[in-house]
Structure 1
Amino acid sequence: MSNRTSNKKELSSEQREELLAILKARFEKNTNRHKGLEWAKVQAKLEANPEKLWSLDDMEITGGEPDVVGYDKKSDEYIFYDCSPESPKGRRSICYDREALEARKAHKPENTAMDMAADMGIELLTEEQYRELQQLGKFDLKTSSWVKTPADIRKRGGAFFCDRRYDMVFLYHNGADSYYAARGFRGVLRV
């Protein structure tokens, strides 16, 4: 699913078909994540929103294994989270945001979680969303994931990340400029 068409955030019909087949297979294999929801309705929403398909393709390409985890009746939107067992491989070794990257004097990472998410058209999971995801399975047993950090914490130079250890979900803090090979981020997309 690489070889995308131009700079427009649009997939070719072949790429669209391939992505929809992957998403459908994942949806059907993991029915516990979205009880009572029908793939046909999800697919109709996706086909009506090609820019969201682009974002889901980015999530897929970077190893996120996006899947439907809910439906918001108020906004009539399906909610996708990255459901890969570990933090998405193509989004690791990054610091939290641009400000943190610019503050580093040496050994700067190639990117930031906030910049990558914005480029992909998604948002970082909040701590609450991360904990909801962990109700659907066991994720980040060996890795960790940056989560959206409150502004007052970020102003002080910190950022939050989560993981699952000892069968519990933990929230930690670190300098926002830190980065590790085993820390990435998980995203959310509403369609």
Structure 2
Amino acid sequence: MNMDNGNKRELSSGQLEDLLQILKARFEKNMNRHKGLEWPEVQSKLEAETNTEKLCSLNEMERTGGEPDVVGYDEKTAEYIFYDCSPESPVGRRNVCYDREALESRKEHKPENSAIDMAAAMGIEILREEQYRKLQELGEFDTRTSSWIKTPPDIRELGGALFADRRYDHVFVYHNSAPSYYGVRGFRGELRV
């Protein structure tokens, strides 16, 4: 990834080509995730994308193990919706607490980062509960791991945070203290392009 014009992120033409090949192969392998959508339109939108930050965000989703794929199209905004579709919580985003406040509250054994900070740095949004449940309708995800999900302010104000997983063929939403972190818990994100 090239950095120029201050903090502007940009993919090289080779990186973009590699990313497009990966995304195309995943798209074609998982047609159940995006019924009624066609790859040429998605590719055209990605190649015409003038916001290079979004392409870099998509590349970061891939680089950190998220295996992003198209899960929908928003007619109102003319945007394709990508979610992290890796079978388990993205390996490059695990061992993180929920947010900056939780990270700073830890006295010792602090994780390197937080889910909310990582998502912001990547330019993606952490999945909300309804989005996580939609993802689970497309397959079986997080059967051995779990993922932080966007926590409502009233729960977060009391020191808690939410995470979800799939066990016993059901999707469960749980709570934990926001400063906690585990080797099997990461987070999943959404990007609109």
Q: TM-score scaled to structure 2, two decimals? A: 0.96
Please show how residues 60-71 of structure 1 align to structure 2 within 5 Å.
Answer: 60-71=62-73
Distance 1:171 1:66 in 2: 22
Aligned pair count?
Answer: 188
Find the counterpart in structure 1 of residue 84 from structure 2: 82
Find the counterpart in structure 2 of residue 157 from structure 1: 159
Secondary structure in 2 aligned to 1:81? strand
Give the 4+ runs in structure 1 shifted more than 4 A: none
Q: Which amino acid aligns with 2:167?
A: R
Find the counterpart in structure 1 of residue 182 from structure 2: 180
Secondary structure in 2 aligned to 1:118? helix
Q: Which amino acid aligns with 1:67?
A: D
Find the counterpart in structure 1 of residue 172 from structure 2: 170
> Per-residue displacement from partner, 1:10-34 (whole Å, max 9, x unpaired)?
1000000000000011001100000
- Cα pair 2:10 2:56 within 8 Å, conserved: yes
Q: Which amino acid aligns with 1:88?
A: P
Identity of aligned residues (%): 74
* 1:58 Cα deviation after fit: 0.1
Distance 2:44 2:128 in 1: 27
Q: Which amino acid aligns with 1:42?
A: V
- Cα pair 1:46 1:52 within 8 Å, conserved: no
* 1:8 Cα deviation after fit: 3.0
| Aligned alpha-carbon RMSD (Å) | 0.8
Secondary structure in 2 aligned to 1:24? helix
Runs of 5+ consecutive residues of structure 2 not aligned to the other structure? none
Distance 1:181 1:69 in 2: 27
* 1:48 Cα deviation after fit: 2.3
Matched, 1:5 2:2: yes
